[in-house]
Structure 1
């Protein structure tokens, strides 16, 4: 029994307590919750460790430490504990991402040891909707990607990732992990696109999904087709699928400087409810 404040790597037997923390903020925690619900807390299956911050024997905060470092419902005291462990362990992640306040606090403690970052996106509005668009009709040509269309969707996914993150997902391991992730989403029926003559002109995925909330990611329009208002009906179509088939709440987060995308999402029905922050290495 942990009677004082303590940080530990969670074990499979602590799954119920971890899920209870994740369920406190189902929209903000969708990414981590989705992984935990599928893989549990075993580090091998989870793809990283789940750190837990206990206060008086009660699990209060979490931090996922894998390819991303993600604080979850993290109090200032927990952030200090997570930062100390991350600093002693050394950087193993490619990014720190999470709710803007705790993530900024975590980065302020790690920056002297891990900095400088390649890029910091300090304010990424978190947007949410619970209803299909009432202003924008869904694009009838946006549909689920079939498993035999993986070669069709992959170049668009690579282009989107490279444009968004600033590096190619094919670097390092030749893109094996990224291709596996794209294939996973296609296989789960959570990859959507409009394809004309074998060319993807709009695409998006439902990246994280739990029974309580899901998160749209990877929204992309072929540069040759931009300015034709394809993203709004495309997003309306993906939103319809998400609400009907996946979860009652749909979210996404977007760079604050992308004013065109923010306006488009608002027209589709999304509202800003908070902000994320990303630190990219």
Structure 2
């Protein structure tokens, strides 16, 4: 092993990779949850895991799948990952991760991969390990049942399209996205409030979960119900499920320009603990 080098990790590198991920359990929850389930086999993981070594020790990672995600990556590791990404060509739909490393990675890749469809340079990472006494959980928010896929799927598509700017049904007709929604429903990590007609008025998911941290995503209120005060109690209900049933710490990240959402999350008890950045293609 040379003094510094990068390579594609193999299944035998699993323990070393998990040790790197465990250094920042909240920030790395998304990738950690995938690795804990799938290991490092690219077919099961849905992409390669790149490793950066210093003095023979694995110190940084980069997940290269549908997303490109730098992990515990300093400037030299980022440069090595950018070189590998340029050689491989862009296969991801986004680059996302801690703001500093992602910003450096994008500066190196933009000349060959740009322009991006959208760059969200600062997305506050918000974290909590306790319930707030300022907002009572909505008793009508509950786990989505498997027989409610027809009701939750349109809400998920609407949220994704509104948030990302493109429909998740493009390309493969939504097969992968529907499978992901079904997975979250099947594992009890999809939550919603329904109206009297069975339509979703509020929903959110716990998209990533480890024994140390989980990440809430996909928070959405139906347009006709916005402004009625459903978001904060709904989030409080999802947070209660998260902290009671899933992990001791819950997190999420939000666009810095979404002041209404940030106020809601603060009311529920979340505090800013860093920032992510996303580059969307």
TM-score (normalizing by structure 2): 0.99
**1:49 is the counterpart of 2:54:** no
5 Å matches for 1:1-281? 2-196=1-195, 197-281=197-281
How many aligned positions are there? 280
CA drift of 1:3 comes to 4.0
- Paired with 1:242 and 1:80, the residues of 2 have a C-alpha distance of 36
- Paired with 1:248 and 1:228, the residues of 2 have a C-alpha distance of 30
- Paired with 1:40 and 1:88, the residues of 2 have a C-alpha distance of 25
CA drift of 1:75 comes to 1.1
SS in 2 for 1:174: coil
- Paired with 2:273 and 2:104, the residues of 1 have a C-alpha distance of 20
Provide, for residues 225-262 of structure 1, a one-character-per-residue CA deviation record: whole Å limited to 9, x for no partner: 00011000000000000000000000000000000000
- Paired with 2:62 and 2:150, the residues of 1 have a C-alpha distance of 35
- Paired with 2:120 and 2:227, the residues of 1 have a C-alpha distance of 25
Moved over 2 A (4+): none
- Paired with 2:164 and 2:2, the residues of 1 have a C-alpha distance of 43
- Paired with 1:190 and 1:176, the residues of 2 have a C-alpha distance of 19
TM-score (normalizing by structure 1): 0.99
CA drift of 1:132 comes to 1.3
SS in 2 for 1:134: coil
SS in 1 for 2:171: helix
Provide, for residues 66-107 of structure 1, a one-character-per-residue CA deviation record: whole Å limited to 9, x for no partner: 000000000110000000000011000000000000000000
